[in-house]
Amino acid sequence: MAATKFRFEKPKPGDVVLCAFPPHITGPNGERLRQRPGLILSVLVPEGLADDPLQVRVAYSSGNTLRVFPWELVVDPVASPDEFRSAGITSLTKFCLAQAVTCEYTSEWFSVPPIARYGRTPKLGEITGQLMDNLKIAYRNVDSAPPSARTNLYIGRGDRPRP
Q: Tell me the pLDDT tens digit for each residue of 68-93.
A: 999 999 999 999 999 999 999 999 99
Alpha-carbon distance values, 135 to 58, 71, 86, 89 (Å):
13, 9, 14, 16
Q: Positive or negative, the Cα torsion across 19, 24, 25, 31?
A: positive
Amino acid at 144: S
The whole-number pLDDT of residue 160 equals 39
CA angle 58–60–64, rounded 5-degree value:
160
Judge whether residue 148 has pLDDT over 70: yes
Alpha-carbon distance values, 154 to 19, 79, 100, 131 (Å):
15, 34, 9, 27
Cα–Cα distance, 31 to 27 (Å, whole number): 5
Which position has the higher pLDDT, 40 or 6? 40
- Strands (E) located in the chain: 15-19, 36-44, 55-62, 72-75, 93-104, 123-126, 151-154
The whole-number pLDDT of residue 108 equals 82
Domains of the chain (ranges; CATH) run: 15-154 (2.30.30.110)
DSSP letters, 132-143, are HHHHHHHHHTGG
The whole-number pLDDT of residue 2 equals 45
The whole-number pLDDT of residue 28 equals 57
In this prediction, residues 34-41 reach a mean pLDDT of 90
